[in-house]
Amino acid sequence: MTSTPADKTQYVDAVSIRKLFNESQFPQMITSGQLVSAYLRNMHLINPSSVGEPWCTYAQMIRYVDETGRWVVEVFQYLRPDGSIGASGKADPKRIRLNDMVYILQIDHFA
């Protein structure tokens, strides 16, 4: 993740980052093709049944960039063989840039 010196960083919980993402313009921009995607990870699951997904599902981490080439959001998703998104049916945001703030999912390894 590349940030400019002006970017501030805030770690947030999963509910907060999903709310920020869902209330932003990014879901619509992704759907309409206004943002360009790049795979950070696109791997075939070895044991998809362990996460409740069908055979030939891919685990994907996708970075979306705007027209200036600046990244604006990174999401994780399971892509099923039929083209649908697994788990909740929605991309799961991990990082999002809004104005001069970068929100990052806080991972609590002790929960």
Contact 73, 66 (CB under 8 A): no
Single pTM value for the model: 0.87
CB neighbours (10 Å) of residue 89? 9
CA 74 to CA 97: how far, in whole Å?
9
In a domain, 65, yes or no: yes
pLDDT for res 5: 56
Domain of 74, in residue numbers = 8-105
What is the pLDDT tens value at each position of the chain, 111 positions in all? 455 556 899 999 999 999 999 999 999 999 999 999 999 999 999 999 999 999 999 999 999 999 999 999 999 999 999 999 999 999 999 999 998 999 999 987 655
Among 109, 111, 110, 24, which Cα is nearest to 75's?
24
5-17 CB burial, b ≥16 within 10 A, e <16: eeeeeeeeeeeeb
* Sheet architecture: strand order including 8-12: 8-12, 101-105, 92-98, 71-79, 58-65, 36-44
CA 60 to CA 37: how far, in whole Å?
11
Q: How many domains does the chain have?
A: 1
In a domain, 22, yes or no: yes
State CA 17 to chain mean position distance: 10
In a domain, 48, yes or no: yes
